[in-house]
Amino acid sequence: MNLKNIINLPVYTESREYLGPLIDLDIDLNTGRIEKYFVKNKNFLKNLFQGCLIIMPSQIVAISEKKIIVKNNINKAENLASSSVK
C-alpha cells in the first residue's frame, strides 16, 4: 500500500473505538521503516491541549484501504504518548 494512501485513514481499536484520523508518519530514512504513527485525537479539546496520539508499529494490528486497527490497550498510559509538535 502506498504510504500517502494511508494518511487520513480512520484509526480504530480492536474493540471498534474510533481514535481519530492518521495525520502523519515518522519514517526512518535509512531503512524506510515507519517508526511512529501520529493520530489526531477525536476529542477536539484533548487534541488542542495534548497534541496527537503517537502509535508505535508494534501496536498496529491491521491496515486496510479503509481503516487502521490498533491494539485495544492503546489507551493505557504506558502505550499512549502525546505530542504537541504535530
The model's pLDDT over 48-67, given as tens digits with 9 standing for 90+, comes to: 556 788 999 999 999 999 99
Neighbours of 55 (CB within 10 A): 23
Count of alpha carbons within 13 Å of 61, Cβ hemisphere only? 14
pTM of the predicted model as reported, rounded to 2 decimal places? 0.78
* 70: pLDDT strictly greater than 80: yes
Cα distance between residue 75 and residue 86, in whole Å: 19
Report the CATH architecture of 3-83: Roll (2.30)
Return the pLDDT at 51. Answer: 72
The model's pLDDT over 7-52, given as tens digits with 9 standing for 90+, comes to: 999 999 999 999 999 999 999 999 999 999 999 887 655 555 567 8
Hey, which bits of 1-86 come out as E strands?
10-13, 18-27, 34-39, 52-55, 60-63, 68-70, 81-83
